[in-house]
Each structure stands twice: as structure tokens, then as C-alpha cells.
Amino acid sequence: MQYADNSGRQRRAIIIGGSMAGLFAATLLRKAGWRTDVYERTEVELFGRGAGIVTHDDLIQTLEHSGADLNDLGVRISERIAIDQEGHVIERLHYDQIVTSWDRLHQIMRATVPADSHHLGYNLVAIEQNLTSVTAVFENGVRETADLLVGADGFRSTVRGIVAPEVQPIYAGYVVWRGLAEEADIPPEAHAAVFDKFAFFLPPNNKNIGYPIAGPNNDLRPGHRRFNWVWYRPVDASQLDDMLTDSDGQRYDLSIPPPKVRADVIEALKADAHRMLPPPMREILMCVEKPFFTPIYDHVSPSLVYGRVALIGDAAAVCRPHIGMGIAKAGSDAESLAQELAEGGDIDASLARFNHVRQPIAVRSVQRGRDLGEYMLEHIDPSEGQNDPHWSEFHSVSGILKHTASSKFLRPTESQGDDK
């Protein structure tokens, strides 16, 4: 069904950002009767962002509602393990989950957006709005006017910078190193120890984790997959300053492009891995061609609606990756927005309902990421921690296994075995 204003014109939404949040918004609002156009500043199709992505039931539901092709979504895993420094398993948790890649999710959602409504090479630079419409102004001089503008332009959102400049990402005090190892390159003992698991090594103030994902071109055949290797490490501000500087002396703001990470910074990581990590996790790191790091930030906007502008995904709130649900949240934000706007009634009232439903969820999600992130900077002796219910819930080995990459906390009832 198409919804029209008093003049009979179909309602139109301009979506800024063609990554996951933008694609969800485009497809779900179109299904809700709106005309939608996506404007992405990158000039070529997006590819190769991030690496492994853990899925949740809510993400799979949003993908289904979007009409995405869920065949061969990713690798099914059924167990989480924690290992000690020698590589021995110290704890196990049965946990069914599908782990996939950013590229795969982008590919299946990109296929849901018609080519003539997806525009590459459009960099938003300004927004003008009145009570009933909003105009996007792009760097190339194009102006587009619509009933609604959706800011789906990520954690450094230009849209948020215009409507809520006071909301700034906050550095969490640690970074995440990441990399992909080809399954065929991984030594057999390391492969047998961790490859088909969601594996954790948890020394104080560090989280080293990993899980399998598909190989290039979504290859799920054994022997052709990859291992998504991850290490969260504390880094103070002056160290970070140095790490964000490339070999030409250029200092990057907030994060450094992966190819620009200096060789000596990677060598220092590998030296620390030899000293600190258990054999399987350090051997897998040695199979990673070029590990890269991302500083961890979070933020949450006090409102997701500013007149005829709505914020979704990372533009609205960034949760630390411990909860592994940034894309799931982007999908749920888009789904809620489309549901509210599908009624065909008053747009401003619909946007107010969207904000009422989703902003508190953004706050809770960011807080859960912070709860899990405390482990990175604080340390309580494990014997003392047992007497501290909060520490024991979020920072014991069993607590970390249970709560990492889980969206269960958003459900009204928390029942055992429903921790996805």
C-alpha cells in the first residue's frame, strides 16, 4: 500500500548512508508504502568492511521481513569455550548461533534495494527543514526534498553532527585488534582446538576471542572458511595517539584506515601475542596477513528524532562490540521506524512513537556494552569478584561467555537457553 499526503503524492524518505542501517531503512520503508532513495557518499559499492558478524534472532527476523535471501547465511556454531594460557578448555557453554560476515549481510540486503533508488557518490553536507519537509544538500550540488530524512550514516554521522552536534563519540580506553586467517593456513592443532567454536581467552583486562566465518565469496566448505580473530586491549590516550599515526607522520582522527597501521605497531602486537596468548590463538594470529585495530567508542543520542530527521543504527547510538549487535540494532531501528510510519497517519506523531520505543533501547544497549567493557580497565581478584554480584555476572568467565554477543537483555523475560 502507498501512503500519500493531502495532494495525493506518495510519501518520500531520503536515506543518508548505504551501509546496513540505510539498506534496512530503504527496504522496510518501501514495504511500508513509502518512496525511498538511498544516498551513499562512497563512489563504489561497499565491500570488505569489518569482518565477522555474530547474528541474533532479531537480526534474522529483520532480514526475513526485508525479503533478504537467507540461504547460506553463515557458519553455524553451537559451543562457546574459554581456554587458559596453555590452551586447555576451562569452561564450556552450549550456545547455537550463526556467525557471518559484514560482506555477506551487505550483499543480501543490497539485493533488496532497486538499482534506481540507490545512489553512490552523494556526500551529504547540509540539511534544511521546515515543519513538513526536509531537504538534503549534497556536495555535488544536488538538492533532494522529502517528507523525512533518515540519518543512517554511521558513528561519525554528518546528519547527527548537524542536528545534535553536542553528541560526540566517547573513547572507551581500549582498542580492538582484528584479522582474518584462512582456514587452510591454520596449523592442525590450533584448528582442532578452537576453529569451529566461539573461543575466548580472558586474562585480566584483555579479551581475545575468535570464531569461524565463510571464506571469500561466501565459501562455507570446510578447508575454505576463515577464522575471525579478535583481541581487545587497553591503550591509553598517548599510546593511541602514536598508534593512529602512519609511517608518513600523518595522525588520523578517531580511527586509522587498516592499510595505514604501521609495521612496528603490528610487530609489537605479535611480540605481545607470543608472550601472552595461548598457543592456538597466537598461531592463528601469525596466519593473519595484516591485522588492524579500531579504537572503541560509544555514544547515545538523547533523541532519535529532530523535526523531520530520524537517526538509526550507529548514527543514533554506538554500542561497544562486546554485545555484537550493532547491525541487529540497526535492523530493529529501521523496522520500528517503518512500522510506525506504515499507518499512513500523522508523520510527526509516528516519529514521536518511534523515538519513544527505540531511544530507551539504545540507552540500555549502550549501557550493556559498557557493563561488559568494564573488564578491560578494572580488575578484581577472581576470589573477591565472586562476592560481587555485578562483577560475577558480567566479568566471571561464565558471565562473559553468557553475555557476549547476546541480545537477551532486551527481552522481557530472560529464560535459560534463549540467550541470543
Give the residues lining the site for ligand FAD (CB under 6 A): 16-22, 39-42, 46, 50, 53-54, 122-124, 152-155, 158, 176, 178, 294, 313-315, 321, 324-328, 330, 405
Cβ 299 to ligand FAD shortest distance, Å: 12
CA dist 158 and 166 (Å) reads 12
Those residues with Cβ within 8 angstroms of residue 61's Cβ, 6 or more apart along the chain or in another chain: none
Please, which residue, 194 or 366, has the CB nearer to ligand FAD? Answer: 366
**Least Å distance between CB 41 and ligand FAD?**
4
**Closer residue to ligand FAD, CB minimum distance, 42 or 392:** 42
Q: Nearest CA to 326 among 24, 95, 113?
A: 24
**Residue positions counted in the chain:** 420
- Closest CB 369 distance from ligand FAD, rounded Å: 10
Spell out the alpha helix ranges (H) of 93-168.
102-110, 158-163
What is the spatial distance between Cα 29 and Cα 382, in angstroms, rounded to a whole number? 49
Alpha helices in 68-175 (DSSP H): 102-110, 158-163
For ligand FAD, the closer of residues 35 and 156 by Cβ is: 156
Question: 344-350: long-range contacts at Cβ-Cβ below 8 A with a sequence spacing of 24 or more?
Answer: 344/1, 344/3, 344/33, 347/11, 347/147, 347/148, 347/308, 348/308
CB of 258 to ligand FAD, least distance (A): 12
Least spacing, CB of residue 344 vs ligand FAD, in Å = 27
Amino acid found at 235: V
* Minimal distance, residue 287 CB to ligand FAD, in Å: 19
**Residue 350 near residue 341, CB atoms below 8 Å:** yes
By C-beta, is 201 or 391 nearer to ligand FAD? 201
Task: Please state whether 281 falls in left (phi above 0), alpha (psi between -120 and 50) or beta.
Answer: alpha
Which residue, 3 or 102, is less far from ligand FAD as judged by CB? 102
Question: What is the grid cell recorded at 95?
Answer: 550456545
**Closer CB to ligand FAD, 54 or 193, in the complex:** 54
Query: In the bound complex, which residue of the shown chain has the CB atom lying closest to ligand FAD?
Result: 326
CA dist 307 and 299 (Å) reads 21
Q: What b/e readout covers 210-230, taking b as 16+ CB neighbours within 10 angstroms?
A: bbbbbbeebebeeeebbbbbb
Nearest approach, Cβ of residue 225 and ligand FAD (Å): 16
Closer residue to ligand FAD, CB minimum distance, 3 or 176: 176
Residue 367 beta carbon to ligand FAD: minimum distance, rounded to whole angstroms: 16
Closest CB to ligand FAD among 123 and 206? 123
> How many Cβ atoms from other residues are within 10 Å of residue 370's Cβ?
17
